Amino acid sequence: MGNNNIKTALVTGAASGLGFELALLLAKDGYHLVLIDIDSAKLEAAKANILKEYPTQIIVMVKDLSVINIAQEIYDDLNTLNIDVIINNAGFGLFGTFYETDWERGSQMLHLHILTTTHLIKLILPGMVERGSGKILNLSSLAAFQPGPLMALYYASKAYILSFSEAISNELKGTGVTVTALCPGPTKTAFQSTVSEDAAENKIAFNMACAKEVALYGYKAMQKGKVIAIPGVFNKFLSFLPRVLTRNRTTKIVRKIQDKNRDC
């Protein structure tokens, strides 16, 4: 990966779903890849599938991104490799009332969504600014626009990602580096199987989208330097609701949707 004319992209949660689809799009455009995931077998399979389609160079890293200071470990492993694109895609959900859900699992989710995402950008961003180019795509969610009873920590963490992305995007104007927050609604990915340990509760099927389409939408938005990318007309409408309704009202609506999902 020493050719200065070839750019390198880092993708977390790259073994399946949106991460894999985004990695495919990057490979198609000639990027070299650093693919990170906790699932070794699926990660190697993803690498093999990408290489069947596109002759690029791929580094795989098996990492648990919910571990404290894992971003520093990743950065150290990269050594002197310049990263031109960061896609912070890895994530999972936790369903249930806050007082009943497992704290260890909730803490892992917060470390992954907030601390690892932020730290990874903190470490790699200065090099991007110094080179005068770079793109960052952070996976937020439609959940970022309102509170989410029964998935309180998940919704709050996605709101953080959106707010953080918008703020540093503003700071980076004129540097050649752009930040995009992709805010999809429910998407058919492996995320659905990790929302809850109880498969019967995996009912987040409302307004379900295709991972390939969401990835393409987000990828195009990132390449254009768009700050917020919300795929789907209905999702755009839903993101606008908190502006016209009271926060109390939108919170009640989300609670009804979550209750319906759980009761299905």
What residues are labeled active site? 154
- Residue whose entry in the numeric block shows the structure tokens 């399979």: 45
| Sheet of strand 228-229: strand arrangement | 58-62, 32-37, 8-12, 85-88, 134-139, 177-182, 228-229
Nearest to 81 by CA among 19, 35, 127, 30: 127
Q: Give the CA radius of gyration of the chain.
A: 18
Nearest to 192 by CA among 174, 165, 211, 216: 211
Cβ proximity of 9 and 85 under 8 Å: yes
- Give strand pairing partners of 182: 139, 229
Its sign, for the CA torsion 49, 52, 53, 56, is positive
Side chain identity at residue 149, one-letter code:
P
